[in-house]
Amino acid sequence: MTTTNTVSMPLTPVAPGRWTTLAGPEWRNPGGGLWGGYAIGLAIRVLEAEPEATGEALSLTLTYIDRLPAGELDIRTRRLRQGGSIGVWEVEFYPAGSDQVGVHAIVTQARRPQTPEFAFAVMPETPPPESLPHAKPFGDGRHFGASAFERRTLDGFPPQVGTSSRSLAWVRSTRGPLDKALLGMITDNSAPRAMYALGPMINNTTLSLTAYLHATTEEIAAVGDDFILVECEGRVGAGGASDERSSYWRRDGKLLATSEQLAWYRAVRPNPPE
């Protein structure tokens, strides 16, 4: 058994369908739990290392059940079904030594055949990223995986209360050329949409996130170290839940991925006077 280490995600197999990893502090949220995008990238990484998995990640749905702490994690992988082209896997993340699932993922793996291409979606017209200043990281620059990505904002950042939740930003990896795991992580790299309606004093927790990785491994690799465009908007929030949908574009207009997210939000309670 050997340990693989890609993008600071060391993976050590300990038994069939069982792995361990060490999540560094750079992947933490300020509140102490791991950033949700880390789990997305890790789910892709572990199935890339899983000897029984075939094809590449096509879609992922993650449910964030409980807070995962930084440090040692246990990972369990289980194949639910394998057809000729499509396989479905379950991936679960636990704090080391615990039986409490922190994050649960269902991942669809696929062998990608050659088929006629079509596209109805059109990439927004934007200035090139080189013409834009570096954006200040959202929140504490040591958290949310901020050290792994460079961001240059066109519109809608930092969040301002108004009539629109749309934001546009160029993002690129600082941890090497873009790949499926890094692209998956970027799908949880935008500010919560509730902040565009209610302001920054909002607590947000991702309940579930689904990422659709339309591009093949080769099409994503063609990005290299370049930027991709992230287009994000929210539609509605009520009863503590708000939604978000995003698109991720290669510079030449190729749609690489889309995502849908449901978040739980609460107003931050002011500290009572002493």
Place 1 in a pLDDT band, splitting at 50, 70 and 90. very low
- The pLDDT tens digits of the residues spanning 146-163 come to 778 999 988 877 888 989
Place 201 in a pLDDT band, splitting at 50, 70 and 90. confident
CA atoms of 90 and 98, how far apart (whole Å)? 18
Q: Where does the chain show beta strands of DSSP type E? A: 4-6, 9-15, 18-23, 56-64, 71-82, 86-95, 103-110, 149-155, 167-173, 202-212, 228-233, 237-238, 241-250, 255-267
Backbone φ and ψ for 212, nearest 5 degrees, come out as -110, 115
In this predicted structure, the answer to whether residue 29 has a pLDDT above a threshold of 90 is no
- The pLDDT tens digits of the residues spanning 78-120 come to 999 999 999 999 999 999 999 999 999 999 999 999 999 999 9
> How much is the pTM?
0.91
Q: What's the pLDDT score for residue 159?
A: 87
Residue with the two structure tokens 């309606």: 197
The answer to whether the CB of 257 falls within 8 A of the CB of 187 is yes
Average pLDDT over residues 200-210: 91
The answer to whether the CB of 218 falls within 8 A of the CB of 112 is no
